[in-house]
Structure 1
Amino acid sequence: MKKILLFILLASICQIAFSQNNTNSKDPEQTIFVYGGNQNLKFTQYVADLTQKKNPKICFLPTASADNENNIKSWNYFCKQLGLTPYILKVWVASNKENKSFEDILLNMDAIVVGGGNTLNMLGIWKAQGIDTLLQKALKKGIILAGGSAGSLCWFQSGISDSRPVKLSVIDGMSFLPFSHCPHYSDKLKKEVYHEQIKNKTIKAGYACDDKSGILFRNGKYIETVSLNDINNSYYVALNNGVVESTKLLTRILVNKDALSVEDYKSVVVNKSLKEYPEINIQDSPLDAFISFKYLSVNGQNSKYKKISCFSMQSRLNEDTPNTIVDNKTRDKHLNTVVSKVFIYNDLVAGVVNRMHDYYGLWFFYQENGKWLNAGEYFGGATVLEAEIAFRENAKMHLGKVKKTIMEK
């Protein structure tokens, strides 16, 4: 009996030791996040969140755009907005003992983000410089890889690119992900060529992303799709019985963590054009204030802007601004403005979503001394929902301005 108990005890100890060794030797997760268009603030935040670190080190590779300074400036701006230290790996450099090696830079990051541009040229440079090998080491080490456009296509086995002259073509990527890929899938021509190549079996089935949509992969497997609005999506595209099928993936729309919840504010659906309202000049409600403001634009009464603007804007407006003559084309444009929704937060801040042409503007209004006053326009986005998200993410900041004004008075 004692021998049996001793055997069971030894077996248990061995099992625990084996389990611990397995845990300790477990390879890091290999994480890749791709998106269809250019870099933006929210996807940068998404990558930072993936690291699960308070102050992650994220390196930007602008190789595909030939280390374009404007792209680097955009990256620096995003990092500043997020409170991150901007790291950049440039390839157009000369030997210098003070420079760190590509390996020292890349393999000491928490994440690496690749920008857009010419995918084919980028991959050629990476291969010549050994950066492709370093990126593979980074992935195996658990460093997150990400990017959009050229910065998404490069991780896949193959995909559709405009890197060659004359027409779109198939290029080979680094095969970190065993699928084909099509960024900018919202582009009709890219979509058609991608489908054609899959149908011809030139490339295998894969994933496509609209410009403002992205996909997260872990260990080579699909995890989730995220988007900035409700019209940009990602898809799994495959050949089924000779027919190319594009399956839209379930999408989670990204909203900043400190944004208002939908229960925090009032929402009123309007869906009327300005020309359906009589000309007024009152500020009893956010809608009245917006209608009044737009009619001033229709009539070219620039000198009255200051009187219907909030305190924080008045100091920036010139009350001596002369009136202007508005031509019929401009007048029609303003009168055809469609008011979609009105949002009110804390009875002090309001947002009016309006559509002109192919985008939705978001005008903020503040309540001061019982009147709703113009507080300026904010780019809402491509859809009403995107504009509403912009309101949710900025309303608290505007409320702070209102309260500051009240205190100063």
Structure 2
Amino acid sequence: MSRSGQSHILAIGGGSFRPSRRHNQIEASALLRYGLDLTGQDRPKLGLVATAMGDAADWVLKMYGAFSGWDVEVSHLTVFPMPNVPDPRAWILEQDMIYVSGGSVANLMALWRLHGLDEAFEEAWRSGVVLSGQSAGALCWHVGGNTDSFGPELRVWAEGMALLPYSCGVHYNAEPQRRPLLQESVASGELPGGYAADEGVGLHYVGTDFIQAVSVEAGAYAYRVENEGAGRVKEFRIEPRLLTP
């Protein structure tokens, strides 16, 4: 294996960043500290990917600022108007952890596949690079979930990388369409059973096994959603481990 000796994915439902006391800035939450600790490195290399946000320069700069004072080596990968590094695959494999921001997961996957980044991320995962991300950056590693990539009305989406053979629910307690649509799509068989996360909760997988949920919000939960057959679904609440701020 590699740095951490195992293949980790940290899929975050929401809460990767918090508003900062500095004007118009953000701060990284303990969820990202948890992910960085999984690398096993004293000064991990953190790669930021904002494809789902159209590589918005202001957002990339905010993410850099969010790690101010952290003992990390931060860099980023963009594809607009062309890749910003000579060899994106090499850049991905050099990182200890990748963080993928939210935005449009449908656009993200289309561009990753166009540039061959999906294959590079899979190679990195298998070599021990920690893969992480929020919302679109959580859905992408799974079979799919539901998304507002096509408009404000959520739609079922099943075009993820499927490194994890599950569906994924994000913003589960914050957006009222999320829970019923995930349950309906699992019950109908459009999506496989899977896991969901409230705001402030991360889903930690080792290999393809769900290990635990972690949270920066008291009273927030993760969930297992299973198809019971005959068009029925069952949801089990999972108590996360509360992280120290």
Normalised by the size of structure 1, how large is the TM-score?
Answer: 0.54
Partner of 2:100: 114
* Aligned residue identity for 1:101: D
Partner of 1:30: 7
* Aligned residue identity for 2:213: T
Partner of 2:170: 183
2:114 to 128, 134, 144: 128
**In 2, Cα distance between equivalents of 1:217 and 1:95:** 29
2:236 to 222, 247, 256: 247
Structure 1 residues 94, 241: closer, same or farther in 2, change over 3 A?
Answer: closer
* Aligned residue identity for 1:229: E
**In 1, Cα distance between equivalents of 2:82 and 2:57:** 17
Structure 1 residues 202, 94: closer, same or farther in 2, change over 3 A?
Answer: closer
Partner of 1:227: 215
* Secondary structure, aligned partner of 2:62: helix
Partner of 1:352: none
Q: In terms of Rg, which structure is larger?
A: 1
**In 2, Cα distance between equivalents of 1:38 and 1:253:** 13
Where structure 1 has 5 or more consecutive residues not aligned to the other structure, the ranges are: 1-23, 257-409
**In 1, Cα distance between equivalents of 2:136 and 2:189:** 22
**In 2, Cα distance between equivalents of 1:161 and 1:125:** 17
* Aligned residue identity for 1:108: E
* Aligned residue identity for 2:16: Q
**In 2, Cα distance between equivalents of 1:182 and 1:174:** 15
**In 1, Cα distance between equivalents of 2:72 and 2:109:** 27
**In 2, Cα distance between equivalents of 1:183 and 1:81:** 29
2:77 to 79, 86, 89: 89
CA displacement, residues 58-105 of structure 1 (integer Å, 9 cap, x when unaligned): 101000001122321231122213132221111114478xx4310121
**In 2, Cα distance between equivalents of 1:223 and 1:179:** 14
- Asked if the contact 2:15–2:201 (Cα under 8 Å) also holds between the matched residues in 1, the reply is no
Partner of 1:45: 33
Structure 1 residues 92, 241: closer, same or farther in 2, change over 3 A?
Answer: closer
Identity %: 27
Q: Which has the higher helix share?
A: 1
* Aligned residue identity for 1:150: A
Q: CA deviation at 1:202?
A: 1.3
Structure 1 residues 230, 166: closer, same or farther in 2, change over 3 A?
Answer: closer
Q: CA deviation at 1:164?
A: 1.1
Partner of 1:336: none
Q: CA deviation at 1:153?
A: 0.1
- Asked if the contact 2:193–2:225 (Cα under 8 Å) also holds between the matched residues in 1, the reply is yes
Higher relative contact order (CA 8 A, sep 6+): 2
Q: CA deviation at 1:238?
A: 1.0
CA displacement, residues 258-301 of structure 1 (integer Å, 9 cap, x when unaligned): xxxxxxxxxxxxxxxxxxxxxxxxxxxxxxxxxxxxxxxxxxxx
CA displacement, residues 335-367 of structure 1 (integer Å, 9 cap, x when unaligned): xxxxxxxxxxxxxxxxxxxxxxxxxxxxxxxxx
CA displacement, residues 99-124 of structure 1 (integer Å, 9 cap, x when unaligned): 43101211111111100000000000
**In 2, Cα distance between equivalents of 1:146 and 1:130:** 19
Q: CA deviation at 1:231?
A: 2.1
**In 1, Cα distance between equivalents of 2:32 and 2:154:** 28
**Is 1:210 the equivalent of 2:187?**
no
- Asked if the contact 2:77–2:83 (Cα under 8 Å) also holds between the matched residues in 1, the reply is no
